[in-house]
């Protein structure tokens, strides 16, 4: 199944609550993905909180064309009850 993200909310440091197209809410710690220079800006909490959903791509994005694969986020997330 291809996962798409409908909404996101930054919560505790470096965690996102994600709403998927299945209607599921899940929480993910993105710190394991912050490797390499492209993700360096995400280590800044103020920058991290600028997260948005790109509806065309179905995933989360940040300024500077930074994004993460929604299927990977789903696999590494845990169920969350809003």
pLDDT in tens, 18-69: 999 999 999 999 999 999 999 999 999 999 999 999 999 999 999 999 999 9
Contact 18, 77 (CB under 8 A): yes
Establish if 26 belongs to a structural domain: yes
User: Does 1 score more than 70 pLDDT?
Assistant: no
Establish if 63 belongs to a structural domain: no
H or E element at residue 54: strand 52-54
Establish if 46 belongs to a structural domain: yes
Establish if 65 belongs to a structural domain: no
Q: According to the model, what pLDDT value does residue 53 have?
A: 98
Cα separation, 27 vs 16, in Å, equals 6
**pTM as predicted:** 0.92
Q: Report how many domains make up the chain.
A: 1
Q: Which residues pair with 56 in a beta bridge?
A: none
Q: According to the model, what pLDDT value does residue 82 have?
A: 74
Host domain of residue 31:
5-58+70-79
């Amino acid at each position: 199944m291809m996962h798409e993200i409908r909404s996101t909310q930054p919560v505790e440091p470096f965690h996102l609550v994600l709403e998927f197209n299945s209607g599921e809410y899940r929480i993910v710690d993105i710190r394991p993905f912050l490797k390499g220079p492209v993700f360096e800006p995400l280590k800044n909490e103020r920058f991290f909180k600028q997260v948005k959903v790109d509806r065309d791509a179905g995933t989360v994005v940040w300024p500077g064309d930074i994004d993460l694969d929604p299927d990977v986020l789903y696999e590494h997330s845990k169920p969350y009850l809003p």
